[in-house]
């Protein structure tokens, strides 16, 4: 059975809305998701965690720490695709400084509300949270120096569109540096139709070759895909870098 993009988006939105309201991880990235399964705030340096509100850390849904590999520099403009409660946005804001800016893009009102409360609590001013879909990024062409994302692109039904949009908003030579889940084998049609597994960062994941082909097709170069750790049966976390 095939599932539509709208069905996937609705399922994902509901899961992460509930995560924001309940301040807990959704099914698939649940309470067991720490270092044992490769998800959550345990993947961040303890020093980074100390500067952030508890709600930003405890609702971390990611599979890595993209801010640690993006090589962010003072004055840069950064976009976080699927920013959730704001953890990677706030860490990026610290790295780019007051002369830089970080956009957090999320499609879930409840997550955006939580992120803005976290921003207020942390007193961070060089951040703007924006509602939108990573398949249709609401920013101008060539307006961003760096794109980061943490275990979110796998959730998008139309990944070629995500790669095209990412390339569009990046400046020439801009950097794409994300953490994401990739598969180590081909999934069956039935597995790809498992909606809970979609929201749990599994069924929608690409293989290494599919990821490379998608980025190449959107015009990216210097593509690197480095596996970091296992997150579950037949799925691993990877750091993906590319240049616009």
Provide the domain limits for residue 184: 5-243
- The number of folded domains in the chain is 1
Using alpha carbons only, what angle is made at residue 94 by residues 119 and 56, rounded to the nearest 5 degrees?
40
Tell me, what's the pLDDT at 19?
62
Tell me, what's the pLDDT at 66?
67
**Per residue of the chain (244 residues), what is the pLDDT tens digit?**
466 666 666 666 666 665 655 654 443 343 333 334 444 444 445 445 545 555 445 445 545 566 677 889 999 999 999 998 888 898 899 899 999 999 999 998 988 998 999 899 889 999 999 999 999 999 999 999 999 998 889 888 899 999 999 999 999 999 999 989 898 887 766 666 554 444 455 667 899 999 999 999 999 999 999 998 887 788 888 999 999 9
The CATH number assigned to the domain holding 205 equals 3.40.50.150
Q: 107 — phi, psi (to 5°)?
A: -100, 0
Q: Which residue has the tokens 């994300």?
A: 178
Tell me, what's the pLDDT at 84?
87
Q: Which residues contact 244 (CB under 8 A, 6 or more apart)?
A: 166, 167, 170, 171, 172, 173, 174, 175, 176, 219, 220
pTM flag (> 0.85): no
Structure tokens at 187: 């999934």
Tell me, what's the pLDDT at 38?
43
Closest CA to 43 of 62, 30, 26: 62
Distances (CA, A) of 175 to 57, 65, 221, 244: 25, 16, 10, 6
């Amino acid at each position: 059975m095939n599932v539509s993009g709208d069905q996937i988006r609705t399922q994902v939105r509901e899961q992460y809305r509930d995560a924001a309201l309940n301040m807990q991880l959704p099914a698939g990235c649940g309470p067991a998701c720490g270092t044992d399964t490769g998800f959550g705030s345990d993947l961040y340096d303890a020093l980074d965690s100390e500067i952030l509100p508890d709600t930003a850390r405890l609702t971390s849904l990611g599979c890595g720490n993209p801010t640690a590999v993006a090589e962010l520099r003072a004055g840069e403009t950064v976009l976080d695709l699927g920013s959730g409660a704001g953890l990677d946005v706030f860490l990026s804001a610290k790295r780019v400084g007051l002369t830089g800016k970080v956009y957090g893009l999320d499609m879930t009102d409840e997550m955006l509300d939580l992120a803005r409360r976290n921003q207020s609590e942390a007193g961070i001013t060089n951040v703007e949270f924006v509602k939108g879909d990573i398949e249709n990024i609401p920013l101008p062409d060539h307006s961003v120096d760096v794109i980061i994302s943490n275990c979110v692109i796998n959730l998008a039904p139309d990944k070629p569109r995500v790669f095209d949009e990412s390339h569009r908003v990046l400046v020439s030579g801009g950097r794409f540096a994300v953490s994401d889940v990739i598969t180590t084998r081909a999934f069956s049609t039935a597995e790809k139709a498992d909606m809970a597994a979609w929201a749990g960062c599994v069924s929608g994941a690409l293989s290494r070759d599919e990821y490379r082909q998608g980025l190449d097709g959107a015009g990216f170069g210097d593509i690197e895909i480095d596996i970091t750790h296992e997150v579950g049966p037949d799925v691993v976390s990877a750091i993906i870098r590319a240049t616009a």
